Amino acid sequence: MGVAWVVSIAVAGLVGWWASGEALTPPADPLVVSEPVTYEVVTGDIGRSRTLVALAEWPSTAVVLNQASGTLTSIPGTGSAGVGDVLYTVDERPVVAGLGAVPAYRDMKRGDEGEDVRQLQSMLVELGFTQRDPDGKFGSGTRTAVRAWQKSLGVTVDGTVVQGDIVWFPELPARYLLSDGLTVGAQLSGGEQIMLLGDEPRVWIPIGLEQRNQIPDQAEVSVSIADGVWEGVVAEVVALDVSEAGDFDLLLGAVGGGPICGTDCGVQIPVGERSEYRVEIVLIPTMTGPVVPASAVVTRPDGSAYVTTSDGEDLPVTILGAQGSLLLVDGIEVGAAIQIGRASCRERV
């Protein structure tokens, strides 16, 4: 019994000595890799983009009014008008586009004078029905030109311009959009709106504040369309007070200025509706060069960075870009062998 007690004491002493030795031994630092891995520097691309939705529509710049009364019988117009082009017909009588600032407010006939008569004379000159300089006086020469114009339209030739025969546009040629009331079969009483559209459509990306902080000014964009891609940039950033879609509108344009849709705007963007397009926006432009794992790059307290070559030399590098766990750096050649895991992760990028 006494021997057993002595043995127990001895064993307990040995266990206590081992435990105290283990307690006094500092634990290994899990952030230090004891055996560095060698990595060969390769060429790679670093960049970042994001897919968003772009909206497009033709903005309205002004409104002109129909003055014809009757049944709208046809709409041969295409949504784009020049001087003398037929917009629609009312009781089968053509209503044409004219250039002038004074809206139609009366029938014009021989003996009338005024700026509206001058506008009419200018239109007849441009259409080739007279060569006389406009003077604002509806005389025999103007009446003769009006009769010739009426004959070309296939209407009653009487030399009198009815109030509803011409819609005067402030600018021509122009894109336009007929209001909902101007549809075939509608009964018109005058006053129906014709909206004038801008020379180019508005193409924009609605975003929120968080997205705005990620997107650089003049960011490059690629807009996907049915048969190709529009390449452009963020031409302007518009801050909105109230918006259901976002807090900012990124207006898109061509790289050298002008609409991003170029000469395809009239074909690709429908008039009278808002269209949606898939757009890729570049957050970080793609750069090509030596690429290394982020775990191979160490930073010093002064902000400088370096990598360690396979033979143990610390080589200064400049970080040009990052994507995931890879860094694009300057200061090292492609094909060079470097170490990964030599330094504490507390120092790494």
DSSP string, 64-130: EE----EEEEE----SEE-TT-EEEEETTEEEEEEE-SSPP-S-B-TT-BSHHHHHHHHHHHHTTS-
Contacts of the segment 136-139: beta carbons below 8 A, 24+ positions apart: 137/113, 138/108, 138/109, 138/110, 138/111, 138/112, 138/113, 139/110
At 132, the pLDDT band (50, 70, 90 cuts) reads very high
Identify the pLDDT of residue 247. Answer: 85
Give the 3-state secondary structure percentages of the chain, helix then strand then coil, rounded to 5: 20, 40, 40
Q: Which residues of 314-331 are buried (b: 16+ CB within 10 A; e: fewer)?
A: eeebebebbbeebbbbee
At 243, the pLDDT band (50, 70, 90 cuts) reads low
CA separation for the pair 97, 105 (Å, rounded): 15
The closest alpha carbon to 207, from 286, 272, 281, belongs to 281
DSSP state of 59: P
Q: Is the per-residue pLDDT at 346 higher than 70?
A: no
This model's pTM is above 0.75: no
How do residues 133-162 score in pLDDT, each as one tens digit? 999 999 999 999 999 999 999 999 999 999
* Inter-CA distances, 224 with 162, 227, 280, 289, 340, Å: 48, 8, 8, 29, 42
How do residues 15-63 score in pLDDT, each as one tens digit? 343 344 444 444 444 444 456 789 999 999 988 899 999 999 999 999 9
Cβ proximity of 211 and 53 under 8 Å: no
Q: Which two tokens stand for residue 90?
A: 């009312």
The closest alpha carbon to 169, from 232, 225, 102, belongs to 102
Span of 3-17, 91-105, 108-122, 250-264 with lowest mean pLDDT: 3-17
Q: Round the average pLDDT of the chain to a whole number and report it.
A: 86
Tell me the H-state helices in the chain: 2-24, 115-126, 140-153, 209-212, 265-268
Query: What one-letter code names the amino acid at 219?
Result: A
Pairing type for strands 202-207 and 42-57 reads antiparallel
Q: Which two tokens stand for residue 125?
A: 């000159």
- Bridge partners (DSSP) of residue 74 are 89
CA separation for the pair 259, 202 (Å, rounded): 8
Which phi-psi region, left, alpha or beta, contains residue 123 (left: φ > 0; alpha: ψ -120 to 50)? Answer: alpha
Which phi-psi region, left, alpha or beta, contains residue 337 (left: φ > 0; alpha: ψ -120 to 50)? Answer: beta
Mean pLDDT of 206-234: 92
CA separation for the pair 97, 72 (Å, rounded): 16
Pairing type for strands 275-293 and 42-57 reads antiparallel
Mean pLDDT of 109-131: 98
Helix axes 115-126, 140-153, angle to 10 degrees: 60
In three-state secondary structure terms, 150 is: helix
